[in-house]
Structure 1
Amino acid sequence: MIQLTPLIRWQLPGSDGAEIDARLLPLLAAINGGANLGVAVAQVGLSYRHGWGLLHAQAALLGVPLVDMQRGKGVTLTAAGQQLLQRTAGAEQRLLRKAAAIEIAPLPRAAAKPLRLVIHASHDLALIALRERIAPASGLELNLEFKGSLEALASFAAGHADLAGFHIPLGSHPGALAPYLRWLKPRQHRLIGFIEREQGLMLPPGNPAHVRALRDLAVKQLRVINRQRGSGTRLLFDQLLHESGIDGQALRGYSTEEFTHLAVAATIAAGKADAGFGVKAAALQYGLEFKTLEHERYLLACRSEAAEQPAIRRLRQAIASPHMLQVLRSLPGYAGANSGSLLSFARAFSTSRGGVQKRT
């Protein structure tokens, strides 16, 4: 028999309060156990960059630092980090005393193992849902690691992943596709349609600075929280700034970076920035104002010889499934667009939009 025990998950107050990332507590526990940050993030299966980004994003969400890093002294937990760890341990002990463990029979030995795929991809909320909710029911195990779009494509080209996830703008932006095409070869790679989504300005509730366009960021000298260099969102933001005649380096906070859409939204929600650029669904999840500036297409790249192999065929079926469509309908600003279809390069990189009607 397999024994299951209950665990504690924390979330902010309210019916739609954001949840604390499940990876945070194991990471804090590893740091509290004396591990340096490099060892601690490895223990929870994260890269150093994403581990540090997780700590920073959760601190922004909670409004208090969780770790203290000092040169020559390594990283330690702050009083808030210690308290969160101790309160969780105490709550779990009390829960175990009151809630009986559940025993279930294991699957028969003949049960098929899930097909496994390694995906390096730009951060996306629908992709998270695909990994956590859709893929397991389809007999798939997705080892998903978030990177910037260009970093994901470079990693894929180097043979470190089965697929790369990246996104491209659908508007007319001369030269915008060149950085992506550097890593993709029509004879060697195939492209799978995933979703289309809205990108734009995230702003505090009620838009107190009355931002109407990108130029207001500079004119009103607003504090900006940016995405990391090499991410598709940062490339698009820089492109839009250039087309608007705005020097990004002159913006307050331009060099301050986060690694996910949710981290950008959390920073603004915490009052530490006045504006950021990201997807609509992340902004609305944190109760922010949102102004759409561009629509974009999210694609998955695979190797030509693997496109018809069982694992990728099953992935394409999962992406095209009614369950995935339900996920997209729950994400504001998202739409299905040739979801799960193998696309020619000309079709994938066209600027025309397509797909189901978006939920706004």
Structure 2
Amino acid sequence: MPQDYSYTIEEVAQRLKVSKLTIYDLVKKKELAVFRVGRQMRVNEEDLHAYINRNKTGSHEKISIETSKILPSPAPSKLIISGQDVVLDVLGKYLEKETEAKILRSHEGSYNGVLAMYNGDCDIASMHMYDGDTGEYNTSYLKKIFVSHPYILINLLTRRAGFYVEKGNPLGIEKFEDITRPHLRIINREKGSGARALLDEKLRIHQIPRTTIMGYEDEERSHLDVASIVARGYAQIAVGIEQTAKLVNVDFIPLVEERYDIVLFKTAANEVLINKVKSILTSRLFQEEVKALGGYNISQMGEVIYETL
């Protein structure tokens, strides 16, 4: 083969007969060198051979991958938390003290944050993806995305989601079906965000065609962005969370109580991190700090919502 041949993560996993998650762990621990083509990670053939040679023992090729399932891994130098709620910043502050890792924040929406975690670009992803068929949040989506990946879903909080409307609610918007009023313009969130999932599922349940919603194709990437556009009168309605309405000159019309969870992969490398997160979320100090922010239901905080075997 030519010297510059490279493999995808999936191809490396197939060659070594391990899961893609194991390869992502090796990359994260800098045991296996990679380079990127766009968002895709690739491994040079010579780097793969170098890894194999470093892990030979005796006269047999023995790749020391299975030990990652038994031995604790060194603490990561940085942790990336994805999501937009301010409580994630508070969690990051506590984790920085507990782990001595540098906490970085990514402000992706729910689905994109989960995909970033799948691709090894995120350590903790937050999500609030509404399933209109069950009325539940997050679990049904994760079961489809992480088909072969062990993970744990932990509740962070419950909060209210609904409509941002102009101050004083001059149009008298009260319920979801009011979105069909003529001449009412919406500003939408990007595909993959929790707010977009809530809107699309509600439209589906109420059998409202998207094409009848003026402004449906106009998108912004945060709760703050859409609230600001409503406040300035460029749109009359948007979907978002209650906390943001307190920061912007808009009124808030509640629609649902949404469960806001965080998800982590269940790996040996993450075992210490998972225990730290659980300990922080159930601690009195953390819960008191979140409660002081106002508007959050913390009755399930730290509860394991779903966990693979």
TM over 0.5: same fold?
A: yes
**Alpha-carbon distance in structure 2 between the residues aligned to 1:216 and 1:153:** 32
* Residue in 2 that maps onto 1:67: none
* Residue in 1 that maps onto 2:87: 126
Maintained 8 Å contact 1:241/1:248: yes
* Residue in 2 that maps onto 1:196: 158
RMSD: 2.8
Once the two structures are superposed, the pairs formed by residues 56-67 of structure 1 within 5 Å of their partners are none
Deviation at 1:236, TM superposition (A): 1.0
**Alpha-carbon distance in structure 1 between the residues aligned to 2:158 and 2:150:** 24
**Alpha-carbon distance in structure 1 between the residues aligned to 2:127 and 2:220:** 17
* Residue in 2 that maps onto 1:117: 79
Which 5+ residue runs of structure 2 have no aligned equivalent? 1-74
Deviation at 1:130, TM superposition (A): 2.6
Deviation at 1:174, TM superposition (A): 6.8
Specify the code of the residue in structure 1 equivalent to 2:103: L
Deviation at 1:117, TM superposition (A): 1.7
Percent of counterpart pairs with the same letter?
Answer: 26
> Which of these residues, 117, 122, 146, is aligned with residue 156 of structure 1?
117
Once the two structures are superposed, the pairs formed by residues 41-60 of structure 1 within 5 Å of their partners are none
Specify the code of the residue in structure 1 equivalent to 2:163: L
**Alpha-carbon distance in structure 1 between the residues aligned to 2:259 and 2:166:** 26
> Which of these residues, 227, 230, 238, is aligned with residue 268 of structure 1?
230
Maintained 8 Å contact 1:190/1:344: yes
* Residue in 1 that maps onto 2:126: 165
Deviation at 1:151, TM superposition (A): 1.6
Once the two structures are superposed, the pairs formed by residues 199-348 of structure 1 within 5 Å of their partners are 199-306=161-268, 309-345=271-307
SS in structure 2 opposite 1:309? Answer: helix
Maintained 8 Å contact 2:287/2:298: yes
Structure 1 residues 75-113: Cα deviation after superposition (integer angstroms, max 9, x where no partner): xxxxxxxxxxxxxxxxxxxxxxxxxxxxxxxxxxxxxx9
Q: Which moved more, 1:242-251 or 1:326-335?
A: 326-335
Maintained 8 Å contact 2:280/2:286: yes
Maintained 8 Å contact 2:131/2:137: no
Deviation at 1:325, TM superposition (A): 1.9
Confirm whether residue 145 of structure 1 aligns to residue 115 of structure 2.
Answer: no
Maintained 8 Å contact 1:306/1:312: no
The number of residue pairs the alignment matches comes to: 232
Specify the code of the residue in structure 1 equivalent to 2:106: E
Maintained 8 Å contact 1:195/1:336: yes
Distance verdict in 2 for CA 1:307–1:171, change over 3 Å: farther
SS in structure 1 opposite 2:187? Answer: strand
**Alpha-carbon distance in structure 2 between the residues aligned to 1:260 and 1:217:** 20
* Residue in 2 that maps onto 1:55: none
**Alpha-carbon distance in structure 1 between the residues aligned to 2:125 and 2:269:** 13
